[in-house]
Amino acid sequence: MSRLLGTIRRMFGGGSDRPPDLDATLRALRAKTPAPVFWLLGKTQSGKTSIIRFLTGANDAVIGAGFRPTTRTTRRFEFPTPDAPLLSFLDTRGLDEPGYDPAADLAALDPQAHVVVVTAKATDLAQGNVRAVLEPARRANPSRPVVLCVTTLHEATPRQPHPVPYPWGQESGVGSRQDPAGSSPTPDSGLPTPVPDDLRRSIDEHARAFAGLYDALVPIDLTRPEDGFPDPDYGGEQLKQTLLRVLPGAYRQTLLRLKEATDALKDVHLRHAEPVILGYSTTAATAGAVPVPFVDLLVIPGVQARMARHLAGLYGQPMTADRYKEIAAAVGVGLVSRQLARQATKFIPVVGSAVGAAVAGASTYALGRALCYYFQAACEGHVPDAAALKAYFQEQYAAAETKWKKDGEAR
């Protein structure tokens, strides 16, 4: 127990006192956590940031500050936090610069990406440099899905409304997977008549230009609400459904969990906190699935303490080791007993890992929601009593454990 308290104190001390063993463990867990990695391939200003903003709900400032360089011409954004990402985005820059050599980017990014998302503005038909990068990436991994997004549709049809309802579904041949031979959807096949001619021709030309290099084509127009378009997320839901369809099972569940959890939230604080909680919970579940008894007893408290500090920052509340202990005391007895019970199940092959993942993920999720409950009350000028906090934790834990077990079965 003293080692656990020491870990918590170091976590809230910050600075150089953070335990390097925890950082190393988190890096290893990140490599095993089912966080889908999307490789964004397209020219500057072709709509890549808009796609990230739509999928994550993060604003441009957060996205811009969150990117970190990986090579001279590439960068990576991990959402909601590099400590516990749910989604990762690889952005290749410089495609429209003369003399750009994609070799280094291909070597660095190709092994990491689960899906390649190509962005091409509807009115920009000069995509030779993008194809020059996509072609070797496709040859290197022909089974990896490639989704071609034709973006900024409003530029192809100025002062004209978008077709409503959204006309490019699976039944139209655009937005569906290609056949195994890799042939492109036939241009004009089944496209509905309400699509303006200029827009139809632009999409058809992109389909021809990228023939054989993509599995799904999704026209989108993701704009800001202040831009004044009737539907600022035009085509966004079709893109999300396409990504869910092409992602491998475990990674699909991560994106589904994020969507389901955030869609129903109205509270501003909680809407921003939920992805953070899910990210750390998924990391804790990965640690809980390690089939070695007692190893995660030192890892998961560190993950939870880092989550608590992150959530405190979102709510503008100070977080110290003493305050964390005060909150944890309300739920700690049940939490510790669950962790100890989980260790015994790890002697059971397969079942032990599944139970360990569900308990670790659900416990961390419930603790995160309890922290939000506490911080929200503090923002309103009062602190919930221990009994109310414990009851809220138990309610959240019961719901989360059921959900985590179902997600595990789906994988």
Q: Return the H-helix or E-strand segment holding 5.
A: helix 2-13
- Domain limits, the chain: 2-30+252-410, 37-246
CB atoms within 10 A of CB 250: 15
Q: Percent of the chain having pLDDT more than 90? A: 33
What's the one-letter identity of residue 262? T
Distance CA(126)–CA(367), nearest Å, equals 51
pLDDT at position 21 = 61
Instruction: Report residue 338 as tokens.
Output: 């669950």
CA separation for the pair 309, 325 (Å, rounded): 13
Which has more confidence, 310 or 24? 310
Closest by CA position to 395, among listed 327, 310, 334:
334
Residue 152 has a pLDDT of 96
Q: What token pair was written down for 316? A: 């503008």
Compute the mean pLDDT over every residue in the chain, rounded to the nearest whole number.
79
Give the residue among 227, 208, 37, 195 at the shortest CA–CA distance from 120: 208
Report pLDDT digits (tens) over 281-311: 988 888 877 654 545 566 788 888 889 889 9
pLDDT tens-digit series, residues 171-221: 344 444 443 333 334 444 444 447 899 999 999 999 999 999 999 999 999
CATH code of the domain made up of 37-246: 3.40.50.300
| Cis amide linkage into residue 165, ω under 30° from 0 | yes
Among 280, 291, 267, which residue's Cα sits nearest to residue 373? 267
Cis previous bond, 80, omega within 30: yes
